[in-house]
Chains A and B, each alone.
Chain A
Amino acid sequence: MKNVKLLAALTLVFVLLLVPGWSFAQDEEEGTVTGSVSIGAKAVSGDRESQKFQEYREIPRGVSGDVELQYQTNDKFFIELDAKNISQDDQKLNVKTGKYGQYSLEFVYDQIPHRFALDAKTLFNGGGTGNLILSDLVQTELQNTSTDAVGDLDANGTANQTADRNIAAANRIKDLMNAANVTDLQLFRKKTALKLNVTSFGSVDWTLEWNNEKRKGTRPIAASFGFGNTIEIPEPIDYDTNQLKLGAEFAKNSLYLNVGAYVSVFKNNVDTVTWDNPFRITDSTAANAYSASYASGASKGLHDLYPDNKYSNLSLTGSLMNMPMNGRLSLTAAWGWMEQDDPFVAYTTNTAITTGAVTGGTAGETVPFNAFDKANLPKSNADAKVGTSLLNLSYAAHPSENLNLKARYRVYKYENKTAQIAFPGYTRADGVWEPVAEETLPSSYKKTTAGLDFDLAVSKATSLGFGYTLDTMQRTHREVSKSNEKIYNISLLTKPADWLDIKTSYENSNRTGDYDYTVPFEGTVVTAQLPFLRKYDEANRKRNRLQFMTTLYPSESFALTGMVIVGKDDFMDSPFGLLEDKHSIYSLDADVAVTEKVDFYAFYTRENYKSLQKSRQWNPCNPATDTATTVGCTGANEGSDPYYVATGYDSPSNWTSENEDIVDTFGGGFKVAVKPEKVDFDLNYAYSKSDGQINLASPLGANTNVDSNMVTPVSFSDVDDITTQTLKAKVNYTLKKNVSLILGYMWENFDVKDYNLVGFTTTPVSATGAYQGTLLMDSLLKNYDVHVVSAGISVKF
């Protein structure tokens, strides 16, 4: 049906646009039509069910085609139509009409699929809607299973209520999953755009563009009910985005001016998603949030999905040429407004969290109101507002034949004008009221950049560049209120001979700022964050980058390019957090016309990314109230609390992680005119392999009470180790001057090795059969190995 609709629309649009063109062409000479039509069929064998094979495309079994048409008349009227992958999930239509030199009107329709998982499994009904429902019988049965009587014997014959009921729940869940609903988790973006461009108003070009995008489908999202409980549900996606752009561009003599306005309105047609708790049919409140699991808590959960929002922007760009020193002054000013005013949902949907119910706080503390009643919120709507502004000023000058210089100044502000809201507490995973007062922190930032660049031509073929930039970042409600980064760079560009081209650059920067680790935790007595940690996007940093690229032209028809990029970020003042981040990339690329009939290319790239981070497992003590003998503040806690006892950097509970990813990508191909203008043959191959590792280390302490890492950490050797291979071959046989027969073959192989995939089940259990509290949909990556054979015909006219 979708194919019929598309083709009908395509034909209609084309005819509608063509008719007026023809009618106007009657007074002039006849128009000309050129174009091509390709139609073909594919046969596909292999594992098409992997989400990766058709992630953003469709490789269909059966017939599909492309159409290109151009029609123009001698009075400069034109119309162009370009339809790709007709009838497929990734089809695209582009129709453009107008008069050369006067105006153009363009219509675009584009579909993009995005597959997250095919043949996923779920117990929920109502996929694609905001209400995911389980059978009451299932909920009742599992709730009763999980409240098995105390004193039952576990698998080892000892009294162990928890283990016993976990095993029973696991067995029942596994049975249910065997008969679960099978669903495809995927969404489709359908974009429609209309663009008008008018170039006939003197020195002003006008553009008006409207875009609409509909996104519809499902994607997997986590929906936990507390610690030790992980549930995956299909998040309903039903978005509408409308965008309008208006622009005018003026150019006269030395003046260039561009004015633009942009409005983007996002609407989420599903405000919330509610899902049943598989393990509970009745609401209850958990006495302790940290042990809340399927045995207690809410009968359903609720995510407040992405709120509707609006963004408007106005921009003005001006440029003046013929300024002093052969200069050009450019200025851009822009102002933007982001707004979001969705109504809030209640603290929870759990009807057991009522006035006087127990909380997750101090014993005896009670819930102050019915948390499921929206009337008890301090505010009903978000009323969130952000103002953005940009000022960019640059002066590019050419004071002498050998010298270019550029001065830059830029300020970008993101000002969050949303009022702070104080909440008396919150519900943790819909299970329990936590009487912890929290206040929202609408953070803002301002980034100022000032710089000066020089390029000096030291000879006809060589130039040297020098640059200095000062980046200043100012933030509110974050750990670093102000930081400065000084960036120095030098570059050398030289073409000492026609056969040699060299480009190299080096950059060194140093970022410093005062790190205040208490800022994000305003009002709390004890920090929740390890005070030694430095967040890497704010931390002091030394950065070095070197790039070198050279191209050799051994002959007119041979280009050989080598490239090296190395870089290192050193977070030199960070005792904990990300300490170091390095990368090195090497590439070699050859492009050669071997003979007049044979073109050949090959490339190889090795990337190596390595980072080192450090952390500590610790538990907090409160120096205001706790002593060394306070329960919860002794033993392991005592030794690891950086605020209380272990106030230094060293602790046996420290650990480090060295993350490494080595990626090799290579490929090549050739194009052969087997029989010139009759038979062409193309062959291409691409290979990419990533080898990831996570190496863990921790100093082992002698005292189990102070060392949380008494078990030697075992590193991960298979971390997203992925190999992809693609082989494509194509024969183009010219039957007649304008008619070609195209035969194709493609082989794709995708192989993934990751620790997540070892022994994967949608309901993982321990070696004893105990349930791990997890109910997944099987959305992990899957291997595939697919062969595609295609045959088609292309007619040009």
Chain B
Amino acid sequence: MSGKKSGTALMLSMVLGFLVVIALNHAAWAAPNKDFSESIVRAETVDGQMAGFFKSMVSFFQSVFAPQSAVIAQGEAENSSGYVGAETCKTCHEDKYESYINQAMGNKLNPDTPAAQHECESCHGPGVAHVEAGGGRGVGGIINPGVKSSLPVKEKNAVCLNCHSTGKRALWHGSMHQSKGLSCTNCHSTHSGNPKNLAKPTQPETCGQCHKQIKAQIQKQSHHPIKEGKVNCSDCHNPHGTVTEKLITANSINEKCYECHTEKRGPFLWEHPPATENCLTCHTPHGSSQNKLLVSKPPFLCQSCHSNSRHPGSLYGLNTTTDGSSEYVVLSSRIYYRACLNCHAQFHGSNHPSGKSFLR
């Protein structure tokens, strides 16, 4: 397929795909009280109170797709039966209250937060029975989804998935972490005060709770700028589930690498097939003692696959040699410095007509 044809196909597919979504959307608005997650509360009319140019854009889409104001289902927020309110919770759990109220989940202005619904009881369940029984762990059916709680994982997760079931969580069911018995609270806590309610201050620290080897690898001399805070675990992985191995957020490992290393995408005139197939044939992504995140040191890495005649198959050691009068150590230019890459510089692929051996 030519570039032009493939571009046209892409555009047509996009238009078709979006028409489907729009049609479904229109149908959804016609029956607004059936939301995907019954407890997602979007109790707000779209009345045009938006900032700047954005207001007019949203209004435009509304006029095209839904002339009337759309009132999206309010959940059961108004049903206060069994709820005691946060002030009552605070009397015994002030530290927990304070640790949640001053961060994103405690923002009452945001209708998607627990604070805008039943506050503490949005997650911990109605508290009347708990209060009347005098409190205590699990007393009165109070829910504790915390990491150390003995509540079954499925029940812990139901608390969070009640609201967080779309977006990055859409593929949670059957995902690697779900099947490993992880609960949301292994990694998140609404009381932590950390970004994204992470259990630890940063993503690497949170993921490093279990992935100890990765935690150690990012300390190595050759690493992505993870400990510098410029790359996060979620830049490459979605811990909630993806369709690719290792929870990679792309259709293949290479497609993920190409998002930042776009120049290596090619396709090239002369391909280096193992590189085209999987960057991890030669690289380890989290950290390496060798430069460039290589899995081992050239020339030995290259010689794992190349035992061609003459120099690729040669043994390069820390050998002595002689000029006839004295012995001295000499490193071949094929092991010194970048070893093979001292000459084969374009090893990711070459577009040069004389580039088959990646010398150019």
Contact = CB atoms under 8 A, between A and B. Distances in A.
Given A385-B1, A388-B252, A724 B269 contact: no
B274 A553 contact: no
Nearest to B230: A112
A386 to B, nearest CB: 5
Nearest to A418: B267
Contact of A250 (B25, B281, B343): B25
Interface stretch (A138-146, A177-185, A296-304, A737-745): A296-304
Interface in B1-22: 1-3, 6-7, 10, 13-14, 17-18, 20-22
Contacts of B325: 156
Contacts of B99: none
Contacts of B188: none
Most buried by B among A264, A310, A396, A416: A396
B180 to A, nearest CB: 7
A387 B274 CA distance: 18
Given A222-B342, A406-B179, A587-B216, A578 B24 contact: no
Contacts of B331: 755-756, 764
Contact of B51 (A20, A690, A766): A20
A229 B343 CA distance: 8
B87 to A, nearest CB: 21
Instruction: Name the residue in A252, A577, A766 with the highest tally of chain B Cβ atoms < 10 Å from its Cβ.
Output: A252
A786 interface: no
A248 B276 contact: no
Interface stretch (A39-47, A127-135, A331-339): A331-339
Interface stretch (B76-84, B117-125, B126-134, B348-356): B348-356
Contacts of A613: 300, 303-304
Contacts of B303: 613, 615, 657
Contact of A253 (B36, B112, B165, B265): B36
Question: Chain A: interface residue count, which band?
Answer: 35 or more
Contact of B356 (A346, A426, A764, A776): A426
Interface in A480-512: 491, 493, 495, 498, 503
Contacts of B311: 227
Nearest to B111: A101
A148 interface: no
A688 B21 contact: no
A734 interface: no
B34 A252 contact: yes
B219 A688 contact: yes
B252 A755 contact: no
Nearest to A390: B251
A563 B211 CA distance: 9
A414 interface: yes
A340 B262 CA distance: 12
B345 interface: yes
A377 interface: yes
B290 A720 contact: yes
A427 B310 CA distance: 19
A540 interface: no
A165 to B, nearest CB: 16
A555 B203 CA distance: 26
A616 B359 contact: no
A530 B268 contact: no
Given A24-B51, A110-B230, A529-B306, A304 B352 contact: yes
B358 to A, nearest CB: 10
A665 B227 CA distance: 15
Interface string A694-734: 10101000000000110111111001101010000000000
Interface stretch (A2-10, A168-176, A198-206, A280-288): A198-206
B158 interface: no
B345 A303 contact: yes
A441 interface: yes
A766 B330 contact: yes
Contacts of B94: none
Contacts of A690: 220-221, 289
Interface string A515-533: 0000000000000111001
Contacts of B265: 266, 309, 311, 338, 340
Contacts of B324: 156
A109 interface: no
Contacts of A303: 345-346, 352, 360
A159 to B, nearest CB: 14
Contact of A618 (B49, B66, B270, B309): B309
A645 B93 CA distance: 84
> Size range of the interface on B?
35 or more
A537 B254 CA distance: 15
A311 B36 contact: no
Interface string A539-551: 0000000000100
B37 A251 contact: yes
B92 interface: no
B163 to A, nearest CB: 12
B337 A780 contact: yes
Given A20-B51, A341-B3, A201 B25 contact: yes
B167 A205 contact: yes
A661 interface: yes
Contacts of A460: 152
B46 interface: yes
Given A311-B265, A453-B179, A256 B170 contact: yes
Nearest to A222: B345
Interface string A765-783: 0111010111010001100
Contacts of A65: none
B202 to A, nearest CB: 13
Given A498-B148, A616-B313, A250 B46 contact: no
Contact of B216 (A103, A249, A498, A607): A607
B144 to A, nearest CB: 12
A346 B353 contact: yes
A755 B337 CA distance: 9
Interface string A648-688: 00000001010101010100000000000000000000101
A102 B323 contact: no
Contact of B328 (A56, A98, A385, A767): A767
Contacts of B141: none
B181 A414 contact: no
A477 B212 CA distance: 39
B97 interface: no
Interface string B253-285: 001001100111111111101101110010000
Contacts of B112: 100-101
A313 B216 contact: no
A460 B150 CA distance: 10
Contact of A441 (B61, B264, B271, B307): B271
Contacts of A354: none
A223 interface: yes
Contact of B315 (A74, A203, A663, A696): A696
B110 A100 contact: yes
A390 B353 contact: no
B234 interface: no
B356 to A, nearest CB: 5
B263 A266 contact: yes
Interface stretch (A75-83, A118-126, A360-368, A623-631): A75-83
Interface in A230-280: 230, 232, 239, 241, 243, 246, 248-253, 255-259, 261, 264, 266, 268
B249 to A, nearest CB: 11
Given A78-B109, A339-B3, A339-B6, 16 more contacts: A55-B225, A201-B65, A250-B25, A259-B20, A261-B17, A309-B262, A319-B170, A340-B265, A493-B180, A537-B281, A605-B212, A615-B307, A619-B310, A708-B314, A767-B323, A774-B337
The 9 closest A-B pairs by CB, nearest first: A396-B174, A251-B36, A767-B328, A56-B225, A587-B212, A306-B263, A713-B317, A100-B110, A605-B216
13 contacts: A17-B51, A202-B29, A256-B166, A304-B352, A385-B2, A443-B277, A530-B309, A535-B305, A537-B274, A607-B216, A619-B309, A694-B297, A750-B221
